[in-house]
Each structure stands twice: as C-alpha cells, then as structure tokens.
Structure 1
Amino acid sequence: MPTIYRSKVDVWLFVVLAFAALAALYSAVQTMAAGTTGATGVAVLIAVVGVGLPLWLLFSTRYTLQATHLLAQSGPFKWVVPLADIKSITPSNNPLSSPALSLDRLRIDYGKGRMLLISPRDKERFLQDIEAARRAIA
C-alpha cells in the first residue's frame, strides 16, 4: 500500500508563490483591459502559466513511497527513485531547484551519481518508513 508524504512548505516560499500568482493574475486582467487584438489569448496564457503553475506546485508536491520505489511529484514534474538504488539519505538545506517547498530537506543519493532533494513534513516518519521499505526488498 503506497504511503504519501506531503512537502513541508516554508512561509517565505508560500509568500513568493502567492505573490507570483497574484502578479500574473493582475497582468492578465490588465492585458484583457487593454482590449487589443489577441488580448484574450495572451491573458489566458498568462493566467494559466502564471497562476496555475505556482498553485499546482504548491498543492501537488508530494512523495509516494511504494513497495519498490519512491515517486516524487511537483506540478507536472515527476522523479522515480528505485529503493534498491538509494545509496544514502542525509539532511540538507541546499537551495537547488527540486521537488521541495522547504529548505529543510533530505538529500537522496541514488544510482550512478544521481541526487534528489525532498522536504517531507514528517522527516522522521519518512526516514523510518523508507528504511523499512528498503529492508523489505533486500
């Protein structure tokens, strides 16, 4: 049975994403108000990308632990990490772009030089569960 862990969300990042969505919404309204040819299409594009993407990232970032792999999802992006390929999991505050909405992160090293940064809300439970899952497949 898969277990889902939601991403921890830093307040500062929530504010940045909310501001980006509001700025895009304002731009879309201003574009529509201009009333020029093609304004509707441009306004819809601005709204979909500028409002939709930040909200999608904010509400969809999660990590699903399955029997043989970890699936990380954030908006339209997905990462699959085979549990058997995990070499180490260590705490990190690396700000690299990743499926993590907090700088309170875990760095997962796996495969041949691959790395994924995640930020589960309950890191202790996540670590316990992933270690149990790794032992079960060993």
Structure 2
Amino acid sequence: MEKKYGSKVDAWLLGVLYVVLFACLLPLFYDGALVVGVIAVVLLNVLVTAWLFSYRYIVSDTQLVVKVALFPPKRYDINAIQSIRRTRCPLSAPAASLDRLEIRIGNDTLLVSPLRKREFVDDLCQRSKNKIEVSI
C-alpha cells in the first residue's frame, strides 16, 4: 500500500515570491496597463502557490517517489537509503520549506520537507530491508 505525504510550505517563502513577482510586474502599473498588471500579478501568484503546494512524496512498498507539479516523477529505491537526518540546507530541492530531511541514497543526497516527518521516516524504515541510520 502506498502512502502520500505533502510538503511543508514556509509562509515566508510564499511572501518573498509574491513580493518578487509583484516587483517584476510593477512597470505594467506605470505604463497605464493597470488591469493587465493586476491580472498578471494575480495569475502568477496563483500559479506559484499551486506549484509550491504540488510537492508530493509517495512511499510505496519498494520506492520513494517524488512528484513536483508537471515534472516527471523521480523514483528512489527504499532499500538503497542509508541514512536520514534533519537539515536546514538551502540548496535547491523538491522541498517548499527549509525544515528538511536529508536522505542519503548511495552517493546521492535527496532533500525533502514532508509535513509529517516522523511518520514519513518511520514508514521508510519499516519498508526498507536494510537498517537506515536515523538522526532527526
């Protein structure tokens, strides 16, 4: 049975993105295109919000699947997971929060930010045939 976990979304991240989008579209307001500017700001804010809330982590019997909006899903073998630890690493990742988990899979590192961290980690540990080193 597979389980789905949504990503935690930082409110400050939404605020920063909204301010940046508004600032980029500000010239439209000065060129007399007020209606176009308002529509563009609202539309882009809705798209960015939908994109940030689209992050999903799916744990199946053998795989961890990471889905983000329209991008193709990435699949990771749960049995290849070596360790999971808490991090606040700001590197680009399929995570909408800086309250993250670093998952070591072979030579790769995956950064995720599931809402229910403890349940997510427990789920991965139960499904893995190997012992996962956990420090969260």
TM-score range, shorter chain: 0.7 to 0.9
- Out of 94, 97, 100, the position equivalent to 1:102 is 97
Query: Does the C-alpha gap of structure 1 residues 135 and 16 become closer, same or farther in structure 2, counting only changes over 3 Å?
Result: same
1:131 aligns with 2:125: yes
Other-structure match for 1:61:
55
Choose the corresponding residue for 1:71, options 49, 65, 75: 65
TM-score by length of 1: 0.73
Matched, 1:11 2:6: no
The structural deviation recorded for 1:64 is 0.6
1:80 aligns with 2:75: yes
CA–CA distance in structure 2, aligned partners of residues 134 and 28 of structure 1? 53
One-letter amino acid matched to 2:67: Q
Identity %: 35
Runs of at least 5 residues in structure 1 that lack an aligned partner in the other structure = 35-39, 41-45
Query: Aligned partners of 1:30, 1:3: CA distance in 2, in Å?
Result: 49
CA contact (8 A) 1:17 1:55 kept: no
Aligned length: 128
Do the aligned partners of 2:14 and 2:49 also contact (CA within 8 Å) in 1? no
**CA distance 1:55–1:81, change in 2 (3 Å):** same
* Structure 2 runs not aligned, ≥5 long: 131-136
Displacement of 1:61 after TM fit?
0.8
Task: Give the 4+ runs in structure 1 shifted more than 4 A.
Answer: 20-32, 49-53
Per the alignment, in what secondary structure is the counterpart of residue 9 of structure 2? coil
Q: Identify the structure with the greater helix proportion.
A: 1
